[in-house]
Chains A and B, each alone.
Chain A
Amino acid sequence: MPKLLINGQPCEFKEGTTVAAAILNAGITHFRTSAAGQPRGPICGMGICYECRVTIDEVPHLRACMFLCADGMIVKADG
């Protein structure tokens, strides 16, 4: 089964899973930290709220719900 790294942890995923779903499946709920330092996670699931932003393969501010998991992908969430 394909795997991606989430905060250093290898996580298996089914094809068609988004990064946001994979992060939540890994038990991580803190995707990004707000301007005032609060932990935040996805709310809309459709790419409009920008709360699910994480770093994917060194590119920051990407909406995890709009990216499909890929084998070998490196994801960093704040949590």
Chain B
Amino acid sequence: MSPDGIIIGGGIVGCACAYYLAQEGITTTIIEPGAIGGGATAAGMGHVVVMDDSEAQFALTRYSQDLWDAVYPSLPAACEVRKTGTLWVAADEEEYSHVALKSAFYAERGVPTESLDEQNLAEAEPNLSEGLRGALLVPNDSVIYPMAAARWLLDQALQSGSTLRQGEAATRIDGQTVSLRSGESIQAQFVINAAGGHAPALTAGCPIEPRKGHLIITDRHPGFVNRQIIELGYLKSAHGMSTESVAFNVQPRATGQLLIGSSRQFVGWNPEIDRNLVAKMVARALEYMPTLDNLSAIRTWVGYRAATASKLPIIEQWQDGTYVAAGHEGLGITTCMATGRLIADMITGKPSAIDRSAFGAAQGAHA
């Protein structure tokens, strides 16, 4: 039985697309050359977070978080769902004034938050260094194990009749035909390009660049950190387009390990650990949390975020008819659910719960 559609990319975005299409009774073939969730998904922190960089980004992240919340009760233990919340940390008075602005922004939109002053913060997270001015807690943010979640989303689709072609790679899209590296061609009623940083190789003009990041994971220290802790400067790092930046970001995992980031650089697909940048990332982390140095780093790795200049993902039907679902930068885990839902809406001709036009080139969202 031939599938209704083809999804290129078995990362969490591709898997979410397959999941939502399956819910609409639409089958797909998912093409993935490597491991399921083996690309940027595996290099993600698994943070499901609302963001306020723009109205569109807020709408997408909040909608997607609601969709995750609805599906959490169905997820198996391997997905390690935890409502850790996020602590946005202000180092000084200037950053603390941003806390007030964020707090107001979220309050207006019905996202619960709590402001912490210096003392509250020290009590909430004793391992943070002294003298930090305060923080904004967003308690509904959560953390998951992304690869297991991607696998679960895929498995739901497979159980509904979709198929997986693992170990194969798409080399070309011609309308409704996808050519594979093996020489074979497959056809379907629609094609979705969910190939992340590799999307431009298949869809000409797709404005996505790989943005490399480093991560470090430690040995197990349950209770060392309670919430996902991010410095407010992270927003400058993520949303600026400088060639290289670091920002403190630490996540407690269900295993008790700490996941430490973050770094951003535009150096193409370079798999080497950049020791100089890692040194800066570590130095930044130790500024905020000096006791981290009592822990052992057991692994480091890199990943490539699919970055767009607009800082918004591309979720739209391209000129050639392909549906593009790529370019999620550091928010792929958060926004994959909304992405999948929007793609399914587009393909079935349904209206969406949020404004889709912000994620399309037509509105000038993509330079």
Contact = CB atoms under 8 A, between A and B. Distances in A.
Interface of A: 35, 59-61
Contacts of A60: 221
Q: Majority SS of interface residues in chain A? A: strand
Contact of A35 (B221, B255, B294): B255
Contacts of B294: 59
B255 A61 contact: no
Nearest to A35: B255
A60 B295 CA distance: 9
B219 interface: yes
B106 to A, nearest CB: 36
Chain B interface size, as a band, is under 10
A61 B219 CA distance: 8
Contacts of A59: 294
A60 B294 CA distance: 10
Contacts of B219: 61
B2 interface: no
B296 interface: yes
Interface string B239-273: 00000000000000001000000000000000000
A59 B255 CA distance: 19
A60 B223 CA distance: 14
Contacts of A35: 255
6 contacts: A35-B255, A59-B294, A60-B221, A61-B219, A61-B220, A61-B296
Nearest 4 interchain pairs by C-beta? A61-B219, A61-B296, A35-B255, A60-B221
B252 to A, nearest CB: 16
Contacts of B220: 61
Interface in B211-227: 219-221
A44 B209 CA distance: 46
B297 to A, nearest CB: 12
B249 to A, nearest CB: 23
Contacts of B296: 61
A50 to B, nearest CB: 9
Interface in B51-82: none
B222 to A, nearest CB: 11
A59 B221 CA distance: 12
Nearest to B256: A35
Contacts of B221: 60
A60 B296 CA distance: 10
A72 B220 CA distance: 27
Nearest to B220: A61
Interface string B273-316: 00000000000000000000010100000000000000000000
A61 B221 CA distance: 9
A61 B295 CA distance: 9
A66 to B, nearest CB: 13
Nearest to A61: B219
A61 B224 CA distance: 14
B224 to A, nearest CB: 11
Nearest to B219: A61
A60 B219 CA distance: 10
Interface in B152-210: none
Nearest to A62: B296
Contacts of A61: 219-220, 296
Contacts of B255: 35
A35 B220 CA distance: 10
A4 B165 CA distance: 59
A35 B294 CA distance: 21
B274 to A, nearest CB: 27
A27 B80 CA distance: 37
A67 B255 CA distance: 26
Nearest to A53: B219
A32 B220 CA distance: 12
